[in-house]
Amino acid sequence: MSFMLPTATPGALTRDHRPPTIHAVCLDIDDTVIDFTGSARSALTELIGRDDMWPAWQRVTDEHSAMVVSGELDYDTMRRTRTKAFLADLGALLDDDAVAVLEDRRLAQMRQSWTLFPDARPCLDWLRAAGFMIAAVTNASAPHQRARLAAQGISRYFDVVVSAGELGVAKPDPAIFHAACAQLGVHPSETLHIGDRLDLDALAARSAGLHGVWLDRTGGDEHPDTTVPVIETLADLPELLVTDYRTPTLTSASGVPTPRR
């Protein structure tokens, strides 16, 4: 499904003092709502007995995840192929059965340690109470991401879950954002997307005609792109929505809590 995208940019709307109206909020999940990297890093350290190989693991994982999105590999085959390639780079040439045992152990360890960021549930509570529709927009596989949301007890917050694995296209492709808007029944220009990746989340969403916000949890003073709003915690999202956007659901609803910090 395609949309007629607005010709005016969010910046242009701001300049003539008419803040955009927001009806729906899309959230990335991994490292935005769930501390994926924290649990994945600790599971990898457990597996190989050292903690300095995370960048290499991410690189091999990104290469293999692209093959899942393109349909070349299913998710479970990808996991084992990825782990076999990673271990081979470390000099450990293992047969398929040995790799399968290690990878299943790593995955079980990771699943045990998934946690929500402490600011996630209060933010979701506020968004829901304020009347926004909420979508999860994730590059992970749909069944695994739904299981993750269920395990954390937050499935009920999401009106839709849009995943690259199901759709066949991943962020930064505009199609994944447009699919979320279509499923929610909102126009991209009425939708805000927030995530931890400047490129894949904030800038990609803006390119798709949504309002992109970068969640920079690292809290660095220098942000490489200041043309999108940047917040360092989800606790600041309510205030951003109230001050920089028009939120009709808030002004018409009674009993809506004030933003929590």
Range 21-50, binding Mg ion (CB under 5 A): 28, 30-31
Q: Does residue 126 contact residue 260 with C-beta atoms inside 8 Å? A: yes
> Nearer Cβ to Mg ion, position 31 or 35?
31
Q: How far is the CB of 182 from Mg ion (least distance, A)?
A: 22
Q: With contacts defined by CB under 5 A, how many residues of the chain interact with Mg ion?
A: 4
Strands 191-195 and 160-163: unpaired
- 3-class state of residue 188 by DSSP: helix
Minimum Å gap between C-beta 195 and Mg ion is 5
Nearest residue (CB) to Mg ion, 102 versus 140: 140
* C-alpha torsion angle, residues 160, 164, 168, 171 (rounded to 10): 110
d(C-alpha 158, C-alpha 164), whole Å: 16
Calculate the dihedral angle through the C-alpha atoms of 162, 149, 232, 235, rounding to the nearest 10 degrees.
Answer: 110
**Least distance to Mg ion, CB of residue 78, Å:** 18
- Provide the token pair at 103: 């990878």
Q: Please, which of residues 192-251 interact with Mg ion by CB under 5 A?
A: 196
As beta bridge partners, residue 24 has 133, 191
**Cβ nearer to Mg ion, comparing 99 with 170:** 170
Q: Shortest Cβ distance from residue 47 to Mg ion (Å)?
A: 22
Checking phi first, is residue 219 left (phi over 0); if not, alpha (psi -120 to 50) or beta? left
Residue 27 Cβ vs Mg ion, minimum distance, rounded to whole Å: 9
| Binding positions for Mg ion, 182-201, rule CB under 5 A | 196
Distance CA 104, CA 125 (A): 34
Nearer to Mg ion (CB atom), residue 58 or residue 207: 58
Q: How far is the CB of 16 from Mg ion (least distance, A)?
A: 33
Question: Judged by CB, which is closer to Mg ion: 30, or 103?
Answer: 30
Cβ nearer to Mg ion, comparing 31 with 173: 31
Strand partners, 30: 34
Residues near Mg ion (CB under 5 A) are 28, 30-31, 196
